[in-house]
Structure 1
Amino acid sequence: MIKDVYKTIAKPSEETLFKEKGSKFFGYAFPVYTEQDVKDCLENLRKQHHAARHFCYAYQIGIEQLKFRANDDGEPNNSAGLPIYGQIQSFEVTNVLVVSVRYFGGIKLGVGGLITAYKTSAQITLGTSEIIIKTIDVQFKLKFEYDLMNTVQRIIKEKNIKIIRQNLEMDCEYFISVRKKEASTIFTVFDDLYKVVIKIIE
């Protein structure tokens, strides 16, 4: 069974607030696709919360090959970033950055207290985020002559295939997108057609 869906967040979350013994934890979740996106989000939060001492976060990027990082930002080792990352795993989301901004309230929470607080902050934040399911798609390029236009169009309509763009000049080029689990079937359908050249777009 080919897995061709994944969960992510539709848009940045609303700001959430969790309080523990005077400390305040402001939670945020952002859709991210690159490490630069992560840096930009953190930079904006640092401007917004210039008096805060800790910007602890975790992110996961990628669909089939995952890249993740957890950062304690000055809190005791593994007391902040990993509990936040645990919630990203628990909600099974990717292409997401979760940040918990802490204002120290004067009372130390201890490592156990911090782990619970950062986990709770991330849990509330992801819980209020709009989580959506997206499909993993494969893109193909079709090349054919005009006399095959009707045949190609018919298959595209029958199979409900999405055309991303097309070039119609000397001959026809269609760039199409199909769900991963249907990709090999669609490839075969077009590959079996005389005078249609199909290639996968990496």
Structure 2
Amino acid sequence: MLKDTFNALTAAGEAIYTEKRSKFYAFALPVENEEDIKRWLTEYKKKYYDARHHCYAYALGTDGSITRSNDDGEPSGTAGKPILGQIRSFDVTNTLVIVIRYFGGVKLGTGGLCVAYKTAAADALANATIEEQIIKETIRMEVPYADADTAMRFVREEGAEIISRDYTATSTIMVASIRRKDKEKLTERLLKILSLKLIKDNEE
């Protein structure tokens, strides 16, 4: 069965972690796309312009398959990777975590840096609000007016909703939104209406 839920932030979280006088300001932020990410990075780099490092990681997509991490001048793998590891550990996607470091004058070493960035990211995520999201898909159909009520009944009975409706001289064109796991069942029921035609996206 296709997975039709994912976890995402519905409210941001913040945290401050201190290690040997270095301060790590961490921010866990909900994002929808790379434009959101660019906007947040620009904002936080401007706000904390005097910090030495602005490290981050993110995961995008309902399956979290789009990822990136950045060490921003820290030794390779000591900042972005631990941050991304915490995003994975919290099992969230559509999430950006930024950790900003103010150097305290004492070097932490690669091991110390990994722990610091990991801890700061984890604390910010723990302070965020995380909720399960349902993945929905759409079914586009054209059905003659005589069978429209039957199609509408099937849609309602399967827990879907009509999100748009257009009209032609002889039929109505409807788009139904439904939970991914229920799409196949509704499609099978709709196809029992012989006059109904399913419309693929490239047929619009």
- Quick one: structure 1 residues 152 and 181, their matched pair in 2 at CA, closer, same or farther if it must change by over 3 Å? same
**Structure 2 equivalent of residue 164 of structure 1:** 163
Q: Is the 2:155–2:186 Cα contact (8 Å) retained in structure 1?
A: no
- C-alpha separation between the residues in 1 aligned to 2:86 and 2:93? 11
- Quick one: structure 1 residues 178 and 194, their matched pair in 2 at CA, closer, same or farther if it must change by over 3 Å? same
TM-score of the two chains, using structure 2 as the length reference: 0.93
- C-alpha separation between the residues in 1 aligned to 2:42 and 2:52? 14
Asked if residue 8 in structure 1 is aligned to residue 19 in structure 2, the reply is no
Give the % identical residues: 37
Q: Is the 2:14–2:123 Cα contact (8 Å) retained in structure 1?
A: no
- SS of aligned partner of 1:52: coil
- Map 1:1-202 onto structure 2 (within 5 A): 1-11=1-11, 13-64=12-63, 66-170=65-169, 171-201=171-201
The CA deviation string for residues 34-85 of structure 1, in whole angstroms up to 9 with x for no partner, is 2222111100001111111101111111124711111100001100000000
The CA deviation string for residues 77-96 of structure 1, in whole angstroms up to 9 with x for no partner, is 10000000000110111111
**Deviation for aligned residue 1:195:** 0.7
- SS of aligned partner of 1:10: strand
1:143 partner amino acid: E
The alignment's C-alpha RMSD in Å is 1.5
Q: Is the 2:64–2:92 Cα contact (8 Å) retained in structure 1?
A: no
**Deviation for aligned residue 1:149:** 2.1
**Deviation for aligned residue 1:183:** 1.3
- Quick one: structure 1 residues 50 and 63, their matched pair in 2 at CA, closer, same or farther if it must change by over 3 Å? same
Q: Is the 2:14–2:127 Cα contact (8 Å) retained in structure 1?
A: no
- Quick one: structure 1 residues 17 and 103, their matched pair in 2 at CA, closer, same or farther if it must change by over 3 Å? same
- SS of aligned partner of 2:199: strand
Q: Which is worse superposed, 37-46 or 56-65?
A: 56-65
- Quick one: structure 1 residues 146 and 166, their matched pair in 2 at CA, closer, same or farther if it must change by over 3 Å? same
What residue ranges of structure 1 are gaps of 5+ in the alignment?
A: none
- C-alpha separation between the residues in 1 aligned to 2:69 and 2:6? 21
- C-alpha separation between the residues in 2 aligned to 1:120 and 1:64? 24
Tell me the number of residue pairs that the alignment of Structure 1 and Structure 2 aligns.
Answer: 201
The CA deviation string for residues 129-158 of structure 1, in whole angstroms up to 9 with x for no partner, is 111111222211011111112212211221
1:120 partner amino acid: T
- SS of aligned partner of 2:51: coil
- SS of aligned partner of 2:185: helix
- C-alpha separation between the residues in 2 aligned to 1:65 and 1:21? 34
**Deviation for aligned residue 1:200:** 4.7
Q: Is the 1:143–1:172 Cα contact (8 Å) retained in structure 2?
A: yes
TM-score of the two chains, using structure 1 as the length reference: 0.94
2:93 partner amino acid: T
- C-alpha separation between the residues in 2 aligned to 1:108 and 1:152? 67
What residue ranges of structure 2 are gaps of 5+ in the alignment?
A: none
**Deviation for aligned residue 1:6:** 0.8
